[in-house]
């Protein structure tokens, strides 16, 4: 039995909790929170909720601590800090800052003799693995990553910050024409606008439902730099009831392609496609983290230390099956 | 530079040769043959062709020897034999015999301090990896593997052994209804007949083109146990010219699915799909083998020995990129 701790209790943490319940060799030892523990109601019966400060001495009996905070402010601070005390797994997903995050975590974990897996999940995570395997196999080729159809929480949050918006949900949608061109091996050059559209469902706050206010809100959305300006964006105003009824879930997914050619004259084309269709983004991500918690514990038991990514972990470490069973049934 | 040797010079060997030419850090040192070397014309200029017997003393300057023989009779004998002398990679694909093949190769390689990767390619190989990753992430779910549309060389050979058949090509074709049911997360129970159909293109030998002979040949095909009896099989008689014109390639591919559910009440469904569309089966397989040759050499340099499968090799070992570049550009 591996003893797993979870820091935080948001959507991802609950996804990890649900995943642990599906794996017989994983045991949820405790949930740690920066809030008042008595205010946190954990789903799994009998699991203690403790103050995050309890983690500080490195004395909690945990094989792996799952860091379920956000990439913007939580993980840059938490992962190096707790990697000095425990084996940890995080889902740091700010692609541009991965190298510096890795370096800081690596230093802390090596010093402490702990294993710290960063940037786990599906992107980064399973999509990264597909990009690596496929580019190693087809060195002469092109990569394409598409996201959706799914809810982007960052983009939904950005809409909610606009004056007069009560709630909002944003879906990222891959363009069918772009998918088809890639899948046909046409090696297209695609701009940001060519690849995805963005669909926004917006509920106005009281006093902001005039045609004028709606036009202003729509304009603020579609012209928002970084988030929407480079995309074809549609905005639909809906009622709170409709949002509650039809847009409560957190589905997501996407596709990674590698197209490339082989042969002495590059005469044969190949298309590798990996696709995810997820009804719950946080639960799927939590399930990836749970499988990698098993791997991190095993690697630590073998004497490994330092920061790791999914690239550094042999697939066999993820599975609860014996090597013999894997070879007999999965190979 | 890694020095690679190839044993055999059939379709797969030429696929490996073409792949080596696409990888700057791999060098084709020699091709080894059991035929008269002077009768073998290698595509790459300047590559020596040597008698297979030259390999016997373990004195050839090779970092990895690629064993490109067949699984029926060549590899069961060759892989343990050469794993005692060199680091080797094979594509042993008789799923039922993998455990015993692994055991025999492991013993020979461990004794010699060599690394021997068995069952590399796409199935077993990349498909196996997808089955492992996906089942570790979604422990409560179901696996589905589909093959095609593509040429099955084993089934084509089986048709050629029928009296009165001059040449033949057999395509394995996945059934669209079955693919759709799996993709929709319906978790269908599928029989052999539900999953694939088999299309046969047959050229009769001289004197066997009467309606009576064709009816006999067709019946022998569709009732052939193991190969065709459990499938919906169609047989079309064509001319040698048509076969040469339209059926000379060796395309293949397929799909691996994992469908599963997460959540405390298993309330959310997920579909993972991995698909390959290959214009040349032997060239793609050769490209997988070439990437893994890099990994085997690196593992051996680190002191590893014994038999390995794709499950045992961390993805980073496959890539020519530095760990820093991988984290910056692929993660």
Structure confidence by residue, pLDDT tens digits, A278-291 = 999 999 999 999 99
Q: Do A283 and B274 touch (CB under 8 A)?
A: no
Question: E strands along A23-128, which residues?
Answer: 26-33, 49-51, 64-67, 88-90, 115-117
Query: Cβ of A179 under 8 Å from any chain B Cβ?
Result: no
- Across the interface, of A294, A312, A319, the residue whose CB is closest to B314 is A312
pLDDT tens across B95-135, in order?
Answer: 999 999 999 999 999 999 999 999 999 999 999 999 999 99
**Residue A117 CB contacts under 8 Å (≥ 6 apart), including other chains:** A88, A89, A90, A292, A295, A296, A307, A308, A309, A310, A313
Residues of chain B with C-beta less than 8 angstroms from the C-beta of A43: 264
User: Least CA distance to B286: which residue of chain A?
Assistant: A137
pLDDT at A287: 98
Residues of chain A with C-beta less than 8 angstroms from the C-beta of B294: 136
Phi-psi region of A67 (alpha: psi -120 to 50; beta: other; left: phi over 0): beta
Sign, Cα dihedral of B33, B36, B42, B48: positive
Q: Do B323 and A311 touch (CB under 8 A)?
A: yes
- Across the interface, of A128, A284, A326, the residue whose CB is closest to B262 is A284
Are residues B208 and B311 located together in one domain of the fold? no
Cα(A219)–Cα(B250) distance, integer angstroms: 54
pLDDT at A326: 97
Residues of chain A with C-beta less than 8 angstroms from the C-beta of B128: 330-331
Query: Cβ of B151 under 8 Å from any chain A Cβ?
Result: no
**Mean pLDDT value across chain B:** 97
ipTM over 0.90? The verdict is: yes
Residues of chain B with C-beta less than 8 angstroms from the C-beta of A71: none
Are residues B216 and B113 located together in one domain of the fold? no
In a domain, B128, yes or no: no
In a domain, B143, yes or no: no
Are residues B97 and B158 located together in one domain of the fold? no
- How close does chain B come to A309, measured CA to CA in Å? 8
Q: Is the pLDDT of residue B251 over 90?
A: yes
What is the CB neighbour count within 10 angstroms for residue B264?
A: 13
Q: What is the DSSP string of B90-130?
A: E----GGGHHHHHHHHHHHHHHHT-EEE-S-SBTTBHHHHH
The conformation of residue B205, written as its DSSP 8-state character, comes to P
pLDDT at B166: 98
Q: Do B288 and A137 touch (CB under 8 A)?
A: yes
Give yes or no for a contact between A268 and B280, defined as CB atoms under 8 angstroms apart.
yes
Query: Cβ of B280 under 8 Å from any chain A Cβ?
Result: yes
- How close does chain A come to B150, measured CA to CA in Å? 13
Single residue among B226, B250, B274 that ends a domain in this structure: B250
Please compute the mean of the pLDDT values over residues B236-247 and round it to a whole number.
97
pLDDT at B78: 98
Assign residue A170 the CATH number of its domain: 3.30.360.10
- Give the residue ranges of DSSP H helices in chain A: 11-20, 74-83, 98-112, 126-137, 153-160, 176-183, 192-195, 211-222, 240-246, 281-301, 323-329
Single residue among B227, B250, B273 that ends a domain in this structure: B250
Give yes or no for a contact between B224 and B181, defined as CB atoms under 8 angstroms apart.
no
Please compute the mean of the pLDDT values over residues A49-77 and round it to a whole number.
97
In a domain, B107, yes or no: yes
Q: Do A18 and B283 touch (CB under 8 A)?
A: no
Element (H, E) at A173: strand A165-174
Q: Is the pLDDT of residue A185 over 90?
A: no
In a domain, A129, yes or no: no
- How close does chain A come to B257, measured CA to CA in Å? 10
- Across the interface, of B138, B279, B315, the residue whose CB is closest to A311 is B315
Query: Cβ of B173 under 8 Å from any chain A Cβ?
Result: no
pLDDT tens across B67-94, in order?
Answer: 999 999 999 999 999 999 999 999 999 9
**Mean pLDDT value across chain A:** 97
In a domain, A264, yes or no: no
**Which is nearest to B81 in space by CA: B59, B58, B99?**
B58
Query: Cβ of B262 under 8 Å from any chain A Cβ?
Result: yes
User: Least CA distance to A264: which residue of chain B?
Assistant: B18
Torsion, Cα A310 A118 A147 A12, to 10 degrees, reads 120
pLDDT at B209: 94
In a domain, A262, yes or no: no
Give yes or no for a contact between B231 and B196, defined as CB atoms under 8 angstroms apart.
yes
Are residues B104 and B168 located together in one domain of the fold? no
Q: Do A138 and B273 touch (CB under 8 A)?
A: no
pLDDT at A54: 98
Residues of chain B with C-beta less than 8 angstroms from the C-beta of A136: 291, 294, 315, 318-320
**What does residue B39 show for φ and ψ, rounded to 5 degrees?**
-90, -5
Provide the pLDDT confidence category of residue A78 given band limits of 50, 70 and 90.
Answer: very high
In a domain, B140, yes or no: no
In a domain, B316, yes or no: yes
Please compute the mean of the pLDDT values over residues B148-175 and round it to a whole number.
96
Three-state secondary structure call for residue A91? coil
By the 10 Å C-beta count (0-12 exposed, 13-18 middle, 19+ buried), B179 is classed as middle
Please compute the mean of the pLDDT values over residues A87-111 and round it to a whole number.
97
The encoded tokens of residue B54 equal 């030259």
Are residues A313 and A215 located together in one domain of the fold? no
Please compute the mean of the pLDDT values over residues B265-291 and round it to a whole number.
98
Give yes or no for a contact between A94 and A262, defined as CB atoms under 8 angstroms apart.
no
Q: Is the pLDDT of residue B261 over 90?
A: yes
Count how many Cα atoms sit within 13 Å of the Cα of residue B105 in the half-sphere of its side chain.
Answer: 32
Provide the pLDDT confidence category of residue B7 given band limits of 50, 70 and 90.
Answer: very high
The pTM of the whole model exceeds 0.90: yes
- How close does chain A come to B54, measured CA to CA in Å? 27
Residues of chain B with C-beta less than 8 angstroms from the C-beta of A307: none
Please compute the mean of the pLDDT values over residues A28-40 and round it to a whole number.
97
- Across the interface, of A263, A276, A331, the residue whose CB is closest to B272 is A276
Are residues B157 and B90 located together in one domain of the fold? no
Assign residue A78 the CATH number of its domain: 3.40.50.720
Give yes or no for a contact between B262 and A287, defined as CB atoms under 8 angstroms apart.
yes
Percent of chain A's residues with pLDDT above 90 = 98
Three-state secondary structure call for residue B50? strand
User: Least CA distance to A42: which residue of chain B?
Assistant: B264
User: Least CA distance to A183: which residue of chain B?
Assistant: B277
Query: Cβ of B22 under 8 Å from any chain A Cβ?
Result: yes
Domain of residue B116 covers: 2-123+282-329
Are residues A114 and A214 located together in one domain of the fold? no
**Paired residues of B162 in beta bridges:** none
Residues of chain A with C-beta less than 8 angstroms from the C-beta of B263: 18, 280, 283
pLDDT at B186: 86
- Give the residue ranges of DSSP H helices in A259-316: 281-301
By the 10 Å C-beta count (0-12 exposed, 13-18 middle, 19+ buried), B256 is classed as buried
Please compute the mean of the pLDDT values over residues B157-164 and round it to a whole number.
96
Q: How many domains does chain B contain in total?
A: 2
Mutate to test the interface with A, among B28, B41, B99, B136 (most CBs of A within 10 A): B136
Cα(A256)–Cα(A128) distance, integer angstroms: 9
- Across the interface, of A137, A284, A331, the residue whose CB is closest to B124 is A331
pLDDT tens across B287-306, in order?
Answer: 999 999 999 999 999 999 99
Helix axes A74-83, A98-112, angle to 10 degrees: 20
Give yes or no for a contact between B251 and B280, defined as CB atoms under 8 angstroms apart.
yes
Are residues B111 and B28 located together in one domain of the fold? yes
Are residues B14 and B104 located together in one domain of the fold? yes
Are residues B46 and B88 located together in one domain of the fold? yes
pLDDT at B185: 87
By the 10 Å C-beta count (0-12 exposed, 13-18 middle, 19+ buried), A219 is classed as exposed
**Paired residues of B146 in beta bridges:** B255
pLDDT tens across B174-218, in order?
Answer: 999 999 999 998 889 999 999 999 999 999 999 999 999 999 999
| A window 295-314, beta carbon within 8 A of B | 309-314
Single residue among A210, A233, A250 that ends a domain in this structure: A250
Query: Cβ of B122 under 8 Å from any chain A Cβ?
Result: no
Give yes or no for a contact between B69 and B7, defined as CB atoms under 8 angstroms apart.
yes
Are residues B24 and B91 located together in one domain of the fold? yes
pLDDT at A110: 98
Cα(B243)–Cα(B245) distance, integer angstroms: 5
- Across the interface, of A137, A273, A280, the residue whose CB is closest to B291 is A137
Residues of chain A with C-beta less than 8 angstroms from the C-beta of B326: 132, 309, 311
Residues of chain B with C-beta less than 8 angstroms from the C-beta of A312: 314, 316, 323
Cα(B161)–Cα(B323) distance, integer angstroms: 51
Are residues B154 and B118 located together in one domain of the fold? no
Q: Do A270 and B278 touch (CB under 8 A)?
A: yes
Please compute the mean of the pLDDT values over residues A231-250 and round it to a whole number.
97
Provide the pLDDT confidence category of residue A186 given band limits of 50, 70 and 90.
Answer: confident
User: Least CA distance to B23: which residue of chain A?
Assistant: A139
């Amino acid at each position: 039995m591996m003893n797993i701790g979870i820091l935080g209790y948001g959507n991802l943490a609950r996804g990890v909790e649900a995943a642990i319940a599906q794996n017989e060799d994983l045991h949820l030892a405790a949930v740690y929170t920066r809030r008042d523990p008595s205010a946190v109601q954990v789903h799994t019966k009998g699991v203690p909720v403790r103050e995050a400060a309890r983690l500080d001495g490195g004395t909690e009996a945990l094989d792996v601590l799952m860091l379920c905070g956000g990439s913007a402010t939580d993980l840059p601070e938490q992962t190096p800090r707790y990697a000095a005390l425990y084996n940890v797994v995080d889902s740091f997903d700010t692609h541009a800052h991965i190298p510096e995050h890795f370096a800081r975590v690596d230093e802390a974990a090596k010093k402490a003799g702990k294993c710290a897996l960063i940037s786990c999940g599906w992107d980064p995570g399973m999509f990264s693995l597909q990009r690596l395997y496929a580019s190693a196999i087809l060195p002469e080729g092109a990569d394409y990553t598409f996201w959706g159809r799914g809810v982007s929480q960052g983009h939904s949050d950005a809409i909610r910050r606009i004056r007069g918006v009560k709630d909002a949900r944003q879906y990222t949608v891959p363009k069918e024409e772009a998918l088809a061109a890639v899948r046909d091996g046409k090696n297209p050059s695609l701009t940001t606008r060519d690849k995805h559209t963005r669909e926004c469902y917006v509920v106005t706050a009281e006093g902001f439902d005039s045609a004028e206010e709606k036009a202003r809100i729509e304009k603020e959305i579609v012209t928002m730099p970084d988030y929407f300006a480079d995309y074809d964006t549609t905005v639909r105003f809906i009622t709170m009831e409709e949002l509650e009824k039809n847009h409560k879930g957190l589905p997501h997914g996407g596709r990674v392609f590698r197209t490339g050619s082989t042969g002495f004259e590059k005469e044969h084309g190949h298309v590798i496609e990996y696709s995810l269709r997820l009804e719950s983004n946080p639960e799927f991500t939590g399930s990836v983290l749970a499988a990698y918690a098993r791997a991190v514990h095993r690697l630590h038991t073998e004497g490994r230390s330092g920061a790791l990514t999914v690239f550094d972990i042999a697939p066999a470490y993820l599975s609860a099956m014996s090597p013999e069973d894997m070879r007999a049934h999965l190979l």
